[in-house]
Amino acid sequence: MSTHQTQVVIIGGGPSGLLLSQLLDRKGIRSIVLEKHTREYVLGRIRAGVLEHGFVNLMREAGCSGRMDREGEIHAGFHIAHQGRLDRIDLAKHTGGETVMVYGQTEVTRDLYEARDAMGGVILHDVQNVQPHGLKDARPYVTWEQDGAAHRADCDFIVGADGFHGVSRKSIPAEVLREYEKVYPFGWLGVLSETPPVAEELIYARHDRGFALCSLRSRVLSRYYIQVPLTDRAEDWSDAAFWAELKRRLPEQVAGQLETGPSIEKSIAPLRSFVAEPMRYGNLFLAGDAAHIVPPTGAKGLNSAASDIYYLYHGFQDHYLQGDSSGLDGYSGKALARVWKAERFSWWMTNLLHRFPQGTETDLRLQRADLDYLFSSAAAQASLAENYVGLPY
Ligand code: FAS
Ligand code: PHB
């Protein structure tokens, strides 16, 4: 068995694990990242597209924001299409000038990998059977296999950044772990196309046929979603059927401007709200999707991972550089307080904009009243705006 010594073992080489590893390295704190897939596989995922200003600042602090600042788009608002109308949420007006950055998670991950390579970061891909051990011991350790060889890394702390299906959360004893979940009765069928976006800003659409979202990755790469039944499969949807249904759910003046093209990616994501508590057990810390999942309606998935990483980054810094462990001791409570606010906002946006299969006429009237209230009240718009740009860390 090959043995390794480090300070922090990070399980998972997605955005959470890579960002934490990069931030720690810049403070001289050593880590090893263990990723079960290849780098190409990780970079092949098409996921989030909107970054809160907190995430943008973290990427800048990590020294890997150059391309994001050049190629990302600053957005000061977005639109909600409903009842044939298009109403704008002016994020900057309602938040004293705050905005969001439109820049794909794939590009964030690519930038993080390049930054890790430049610093000689230790990221092991294609690892199998990763197992955390001794979570309550002063020196926990992690074992894994790679290319048929057995490995062990002794460390001070383990961070589980291995997503919803990872091994870390399952390593917390069942009698300690509490899980809270809400599964929504629909999914999002997403399409990526090399076409100009239909609008300058994002459009969230509430329609009796179901939700739709017009987003983008650049001026020549568009990302669209429509709500579909959970029984649908991506292969059931031809490109022509997708574009026709998207147009039905958009106001005429928008549908008329939609430029269609072949899908270069097409997939269905289920929607769920999920939180695991606590986010710390002994010397294991959970971060990102390993601990919580939101429906993507509020663009909070990746952004909630970022605030976890912010708290862990400062907690490890204070521990190793100041001998102060209060940040680590308070991590779970602090992270969960912000996670639950993101869960609430994502749940609210999902209820506001989706057609629930079991919904009644009364539910539809309540939904319309929610939208009417939103666009008749500056206070309601300010509340939405401050959540969308990101609550304070
Ligand atoms: P990730 O899941 O990204 O990364 C975890 C990593 O751990 C993966 O690379 C995985 O291979 C690895 N791993 C898992 N088990 C392991 C093991 N046992 N050993 C080693 N490695 C292991 N968020 C938004 O804000 N907007 C969106 O539109 C949006 N769309 C999404 C669509 C889909 C299909 C999914 C699944 C998520 C989407 N999200 C979206 C949420 C998404 O962006 C996550 O919040 C984000 O990927 C979280 O990053 P991580 O916490 O790093 O988890
Ligand atoms: C995306 O561009 O993928 C995206 C944008 C906003 C959301 C969800 C997804 O709320």
pLDDT tens digit sequence for 130-147 = 999 999 998 999 999 999
Asked whether 48 lines ligand 2 (CB < 6 A), one says yes
Active site residue 173: no
Residue-wise pLDDT tens for the chain (393 aa)? 999 999 999 999 999 999 999 999 999 999 999 999 999 999 999 899 999 999 999 999 999 999 999 999 999 999 999 999 999 999 999 999 999 999 999 999 999 999 999 999 999 999 999 999 999 998 999 999 999 999 999 999 999 999 999 999 999 999 999 999 999 999 999 999 999 999 999 999 999 999 999 999 999 999 999 999 999 999 999 999 999 999 999 999 999 999 999 999 999 999 999 999 999 999 999 999 999 999 999 999 999 999 999 999 999 999 999 999 999 999 999 999 999 999 999 999 999 999 999 999 999 999 999 999 999 999 999 999 999 999 999
φ, ψ at 13 (rounded to 5°): -110, 40
pTM score: 0.97
Ligand 1 pocket member 161 (CB < 6 A): yes
Whole-angstrom CA distances from 228 to 51, 269, 347, 350, 383 are: 25, 10, 17, 14, 28
Q: Which ligand is nearest to the CA of 48?
A: 1
Q: Quick one: tokens of 213? A: 């979202």
Q: d(Cα 155, Cα 195) in Å, to the nearest integer? A: 48
Q: Is 113 a catalytic residue?
A: no
Q: Check 79, 94, 266, 300 and give the catalytic one.
A: 300
Active site residue 300: yes
Contact 116, 108 (CB under 8 A): no
Q: Identify the residue whose C-alpha is closest to ligand 2 atom 1.
A: 49
Q: What is the CATH number of domain 2-75+99-181+272-349?
A: 3.50.50.60
Residue of minimum CA distance from atom 27 in ligand 1: 48
Given the candidates 3.40.50.10320, 1.10.3720.10, 3.30.9.10, 3.50.50.60, the CATH classification of the domain at 185-270+358-389 is 3.30.9.10
The residue written with tokens 């939405």 in the block is 384
- Is there a common fold for 2-75+99-181+272-349 and 185-270+358-389? no
**Which 3 state secondary structure label does DSSP give 102?**
strand
- Please state, in angstroms and rounded to a whole number, the distance separating the CA atoms of residues 365 and 371: 10
pLDDT for position 314: 98
Domain boundaries, the chain: 2-75+99-181+272-349, 185-270+358-389
* Ligand 2 contact, 51 CB (< 6 A): no
pLDDT in tens, 324-354: 999 999 999 999 999 999 999 999 999 999 9
304 C-beta neighbours (distance < 10 Å), count:
30
